[in-house]
Chains A and B, each alone.
Chain A
Amino acid sequence: MLTQPYLEDYKHDISSGRKNYIYLTLVMAITDFKMKYDNSALGYLWSLVKPLLMFGTLYLVFSVFMRWNVENYKLHLLLGIILWNFLAEVTLNSMVLLEGKASIIKKINFPRWIVVIASSLTSLLTLFLNIVIFFLFFIFSAPPFHTSALLLGLYLIELYFLSVGIALLLCALYPKFRDIHHLWEVFVQLGFWVTPIIYPISIVPQKYHTFIFLNPMARVIQGSRQAIIGPPGDFTGFTSHVLIISVAAVLFLAGLTLFNKLSPSFAEDL
């Protein structure tokens, strides 16, 4: 019979068990990432090709057929799509992955938020790769580089917490109300059009600006554009960050609270 190595390190394992949440989160993220692109010929490349194809289509329509009079429109559009896609992906995927993990959740007691964080990490990797591609475009179009571009880091952190906060809220409700997935899909579409992603903010009548910029995503996108591509504007300013951060913090804390409250019954509802 095979010898069983647990004899000698029996004690050791017990003390260290259950503290490896970080490792669990990473393994889960890697497994999700592998599964997502598993049966496709281009594999991981899809995570890069997808936003580029979307960009190509929109660019064709809005730059060749219709013409916005915006300097570096290409860069504005690409950055907007990349940032918006991250929010859309994190929020929508987390529900899909929660459903996919039902068989594990029904059997193993582990903190459920790990599913949401793992799914967000997968999207985060895609986001970073996309940002690299954006900078390749940036170098080729050669607008002057401003040091304010470093603000992008702050915007990405804000974007991350905003997205994960929403994802936690949605996932908390999802097992009891499945329609929240469909509802949110529509909402993401709506959000894509009320956020200045493909159109310049200048075409929107001034009186609506206040409403448009109540949306923290509009501020994240417009602000990072002003910081990186220019021309500089007031969306990189202090008030804008305060607004984004407070919305993100409220959503994140609300999401976490609701999630912790409802997740103990996930094993029954999923």
Chain B
Amino acid sequence: MITIEQVNKVFRLPHDKKTTLKQRFVNVFQKNTYERFYALRDINLNVKQGEFVGIIGKNGSGKSTLLKIMASVLKPTSGSVSIKANVAPFLELGVGFQADSTVKDNIFLYGALLGMSRKQITAKYDWIINFSGLEKFVDAKLKNLSSGMQVRLGFSITVIVNSPILLVDEVFAVGDIDFQQKCYDSFMNFKKNGRTIVFVSHDLNTIENFCDRAILLKEGSVSAEGHPKDVVTAYTNS
């Protein structure tokens, strides 16, 4: 489903950021110095259909960058990524909503961004509102919702869009117990349907309970891979 071969992602960290013309003109003879920062180093990964893969690691270890590469939001500096299906944009806090628009408008915009048609979104609209539990807030601005509510909304839309691959970035942290249960139920459903999930979490219990395989990232490289229990142990011992 997803094949990643020898992927490197290098971010250039300028020592002195020059983004305005003046800075460029003034320093025109001065060489622009920067460090090469390897966010991902030689990643090889193969995710099969229907597999649940969990990614863990410390902050800054490249987890989100890897998800962004899978979502083709970021292009790898070198290496190849091939994805054999539609990928739902990955889900995380503030998924890419417009803060100044209403919940309703955001559902339609987000649905359209996920590649749905008006008909499809309209058909699923009530379900989304219902699942996210936002019946009272349909006409509220998104910025006035709590972060938990925003994640619930994002999750509900992502659940309903029928992409075979789902990328999830740390969403369990903000939902309340009821919603977490809903998420778990949905995850079980995905499994039954043969959808593929790659998800990043700091919640090690979730990783152990749901994943078929776990990957531990350390400074951009895979430092352990295999059965979730072993990988989590490797992480907690490091």
A residues lining the B interface (CB < 8 Å): 1-2, 4-7, 9-10, 12-14, 16-20, 23-24, 27-28, 30-31, 34-35, 38, 100, 103-110, 176-179, 183, 264-265, 267-268
With A107-B95, A176-B19: A10-B193 Cβ-Cβ less than 8 Å = yes
Q: Are B100 and A179 in touch, CB under 8 angstroms? A: no
A35 to B162, CA, bound (A): 29
A176 to B17, CA, bound (A): 11
Interface residue tally for chain B (C-beta within 8 Å): 51
Partner of A14, one of B71, B90, B97, B163: B163
- Which A residues are CB-close (under 8 A) to B74? 267-268
- Which B residues are CB-close (under 8 A) to A1? 182, 185
Q: Are A108 and B11 in touch, CB under 8 angstroms? A: no
Q: Are A13 and B161 in touch, CB under 8 angstroms? A: yes
State how many angstroms separate the Cβ of B47 from the closest Cβ of chain A: 17
Q: Classify the secondary structure of A's interface with B.
A: helix
Q: Are B162 and A104 in touch, CB under 8 angstroms? A: no
With A1-B182, A31-B101: A20-B75 Cβ-Cβ less than 8 Å = no
Point out which of B90, B96, B118, B164 has the most chain A C-beta atoms below 10 A from its C-beta. Answer: B96
Q: Mark B156-191, 1 if CB is under 8 A from A, else 0.
A: 000111111000000000000000001001100100
Closest to A38 in B: B100
- Which B residues are CB-close (under 8 A) to A7? 193
A/B interface sample: 24 pairs, CB < 8 A: A2-B130, A4-B189, A7-B193, A10-B162, A13-B116, A17-B114, A23-B112, A23-B118, A24-B112, A24-B115, A27-B118, A30-B105, A34-B105, A104-B96, A106-B96, A107-B71, A108-B71, A108-B73, A108-B89, A109-B71, A109-B89, A177-B20, A177-B21, A179-B22
A103 to B87, CA, bound (A): 18
Q: Are A109 and B75 in touch, CB under 8 angstroms? A: no
A24 to B118, CA, bound (A): 9
With A17-B163, A34-B105, A178-B20: A267-B68 Cβ-Cβ less than 8 Å = yes
Q: Are B89 and A107 in touch, CB under 8 angstroms? A: yes
A20 to B75, CA, bound (A): 23
Q: Are A110 and B113 in touch, CB under 8 angstroms? A: yes
A189 to B86, CA, bound (A): 46
Q: Mark B124-139, 1 if CB is under 8 A from A, else 0.
A: 1001001100000000
Judge if B109 is at the interface, Cβ distance under 8 Å. Answer: yes
With A4-B189, A109-B89: A35-B75 Cβ-Cβ less than 8 Å = no
Q: Are A14 and B73 in touch, CB under 8 angstroms? A: no
Q: Are A4 and B159 in touch, CB under 8 angstroms? A: yes
Q: Mark B201-235, 1 if CB is under 8 A from A, else 0.
A: 00000000000000000000000000000000000
Q: Are A4 and B186 in touch, CB under 8 angstroms? A: yes
State how many angstroms separate the Cβ of B70 from the closest Cβ of chain A: 10
Point out which of B72, B87, B98 has the most chain A C-beta atoms below 10 A from its C-beta. Answer: B98
A38 to B75, CA, bound (A): 36
A107 to B96, CA, bound (A): 6
- Which B residues are CB-close (under 8 A) to A2? 127, 130-131, 182
Point out which of A106, A264, A268 has the most chain B C-beta atoms below 10 A from its C-beta. Answer: A268
A2 to B185, CA, bound (A): 10
Closest to A264 in B: B75
Partner of A27, one of B22, B95, B112, B123: B112
- Which B residues are CB-close (under 8 A) to A6? 159-162, 193
A268 to B162, CA, bound (A): 28
A177 to B22, CA, bound (A): 11
Q: Are A14 and B113 in touch, CB under 8 angstroms? A: no
Point out which of A4, A108, A176, A267 has the most chain B C-beta atoms below 10 A from its C-beta. Answer: A108
- Which B residues are CB-close (under 8 A) to A108? 71, 73, 89, 96, 113-114
Q: Mark B88-104, 1 if CB is under 8 A from A, else 0.
A: 01101011111011000
